[in-house]
Amino acid sequence: MIPASFDYVRATSVDEAIAALGDPTTKVIAGGQSLLPLLKMRLTQVDRLVDIGRLTELKGIRDLPDGGLEIGALTTYAELIATSKQSWTNEALERIADPQTRNRGTVGGAISHADPALELPALALALDYSAVLRSARGERVVPLDGFFLGAFHTAIEPDELLVALRRGPLPTGAGGAYRSIEQPASGYAIVGVAAVLGNRHGVLGSSEIDHVRVAITGVADAPYRARAVEEALVGTDCAPDRIAAAAEKATEGVTVSGDIHAGAAYRTAMAAVVTRRALEAARAGSN
């Protein structure tokens, strides 16, 4: 498999990479775990590749003064696993692909690629991350809720570079979980659900939960927040019967995808099942 010809630029700085952008036929490459196979199979073509893989300033995980977190776009899955303090996110990340992909694939690459069945976008959505985008025009911060516009389509403009993911602090004692049903051969999610539950006052137990995030991947043409599920649970104790009822709303307002691996009816049914499992696990993990 040989890709069509293209120009190649290896950027030595973020500014140099940004200067090379602007044309929709120019693509950025970092770890190459998603883009290179598409190019080799000629499922996509580019006129120019801008290689940012050696820009060390885009690596690393930084605690923010407000208790939030910033992850550099070139941070790999493996680096994120090694430094994350959340066991439930590590469990999800360790299931991604294989060691080669986890050591080469980058956080920014996964978010920019916007594959409808990737795990990381759902995790990042549930954790309220935003994309930090930089161009010659300046920098803007775009919440991931609304960032994914469709299959392989995001809110990144042709002249913008994703430089980091950033979130604010999580509620004290927040619990999270990721559950999925995967296609056995590829490992991609047929249905994947990330859930985060918490209380801004830091007291859970039998008290009401006022922070609910449910993000779903594999079901539609883009990862999405299951707003109807969240709204049904906010202000409740998230008891099992409430969770079960709310989970039935997992695909409300969404056009469910169907393909050779799973029809739309099956995905709809399994979205409710997996959402319930993720919420129950997140409730058990909160304190």
pLDDT at residue 55, rounded to an integer: 97
Per the structure block, which two tokens stand in for 112?
């920019």
Residue 190 has phi, psi (to 5 degrees) of -80, -40
User: With pLDDT > 70 as the criterion, what percentage of the chain qualifies?
Assistant: 96
Q: What CATH number belongs to 175-285?
A: 3.30.390.50
CA 3/CA 27 separation, integer angstroms: 14
Bridge partner list, 165: 71, 131
pLDDT at residue 86, as a whole number: 86
d(CA 162, CA 3): 25
Q: Which residue ranges does the chain devote to CATH 3.30.465.10?
A: 1-169
Whole-structure pTM value:
0.93
Taking only the tens place, the pLDDT of each residue in 4-40 is: 898 999 999 999 999 999 988 999 999 888 888 888 8
- According to CATH, where is 3.30.390.50 located in the chain? 175-285
- Chain centroid to Cα 165, Å, comes to 10
In sequence order, the 6+-apart residues with CB closer than 8 A to the CB of 240 are: 280
What's 1-169's CATH class? alpha beta
Which tops the pLDDT comparison, 162 or 35?
A: 162
pLDDT on residue 202: 57
Q: How far, in Å, CA of 152 to CA of 146, rounded?
A: 14
Among 16-20, 205-209, 258-262, which is the least confidently predicted range?
A: 205-209
- Phi, psi of 9, rounded to the nearest 5 degrees: -125, 125
* Residue 207, pLDDT score: 65
Is the model's pLDDT at 203 over the cut of 90?
A: no
